[in-house]
A = this chain, B = another copy of it.
């Protein structure tokens, strides 16, 4: 591992920061940022907006102009080496006279990545790797998960009272959390390529699961809405079917699919496990469609099912400052967790106030 200077860290941190501008638009591509620096100063920067648009390196070179000659490029992901929708970036860097390329992390989706590196080295460009690697991997955890494990990064979102209730037994649940929390969920949705729910939630709440905030710049993209509906009980009157954007209804028996197919829905058959759609197969399907991040907003049945089977990567809990008491429905139905050893240990990565609520972001303790 080369020794990187403080300046190197500052420039890469900047590249990571601008890469994040693509959080609502870059997917299925990774978010990438590029900073060009010369004589200790930034002389150009760029980020990747969306599929088909210029890559971060090209935007940075354009920003720097002729000044790019003799500069160092800080790129959050290794420069592409493929002749795809745009010419490969490593060629542009060589051509512009960049003398050094520092990358944070490799791109496992690139089949010929060593070729790019070799070309750079052959052209006399110094190449260093691994600066702020874990931050860069965190930034593109969804993309990396998809290309290495053929499934999206899976977030489960829950809106609960301080005592873990999601609704009263009489069904009342609107609204437990504040409007600020609901706005925050809109951003979660915008970062995801797909939003999944279960048939229970469709029947109970008739949700929209779309992005309704105008000030989130997704370029009009709506995430695919995925309904786990093993026995095709989604009613043709469901509000979700009347929205623009794609609905994918996942079932184990598509005999009754005609009516839904006439509406805005793709009905797809999946393997059945004990009469229920095989979630893992759905996740694979979503990855094959370029979904990096899947957000699940579900009721206690699906949430509990996924938790019991350890199918969730991250849990996002919006906790409202209310005690709702015992006559309520809890966040997850987990019939197989009967002993204290069954509980799922969490690692809290972030806790913050969102409006009057507390947002807790947790992952699962892999040690257990």
Residues of chain A having any CB pair with chain B under 8 Å? 160-165, 168-170, 172-173, 176, 300, 304, 307-308, 315, 317, 321-327, 330-335, 337-340, 342-348, 351, 358, 360, 362
Q: What are some 16 contacts across the A-B interface (CB < 8 A)?
A: A162-B346, A162-B360, A163-B164, A168-B338, A168-B339, A170-B339, A300-B326, A321-B346, A322-B346, A323-B344, A324-B343, A325-B337, A325-B343, A326-B332, A327-B334, A327-B337
Give Cα A164 to B326, complex, Å.
Answer: 10
Q: Is the CB of B307 within 8 A of A323?
A: yes
| Inter-subunit contact B348/A321 (CB<8 Å) | yes
User: Looking across the interface, which residue of chain B has its beta carbon closest to that of A171?
Assistant: B340
Query: Which of A164, A324, A331 has its CB near the most chain B CB atoms (within 10 A)?
Result: A164
Question: Shortest Cβ distance from A176 into chain B, in angstroms?
Answer: 8
**Which residues on B sit within 8 Å (CB–CB) of A333?**
325-326
A334 neighbours in B (Cβ, 8 Å): 323, 325-327
Q: Would A338 and B169 be within 8 Å (CB), given that A321-B362, A322-B343 are in contact?
A: yes
The CA of A184 and the CA of B307, in the complex, are separated in Å by: 31
Q: Give A282 to B340 CA distance when docked, in angstroms.
A: 35
Query: Which 3 pairs between the two chains have the least Cβ-Cβ distance?
Result: A325-B334, A164-B164, A163-B164
| Distance between Cα atoms of A74 and B176 in the complex (Å) | 46
| A324–B326 alpha-carbon span in the complex (Å) | 16
On chain B, the residues within 8 Å of A176 by CB distance are 340
Please pick, from B163, B172, B307, the residue contacting A340 in the complex, using a CB distance under 8 A: B172
**What's the minimum C-beta distance from A338 to chain B, rounded to whole angstroms?**
5
Across-interface contacts of A170 in B (CB, < 8 A): 338-339
B344 and A335 contact, CB distance less than 8 A: no
**Contacting pair A317 B162 (CB below 8 A):** yes
Q: Which residue of B lies closest to A346 (CB)?
A: B321
Contacts of A351 in B (CB 8 A): 351, 358
> For residue A362, which residue of chain B has the nearest CB?
B321
Q: Complex: how many Å from CA A330 to CA B170?
A: 18
- Cα-based distance from A362 to B163 in the complex (angstroms): 13
Chain B residues near A322: list those with CB within 8 A: 343-346
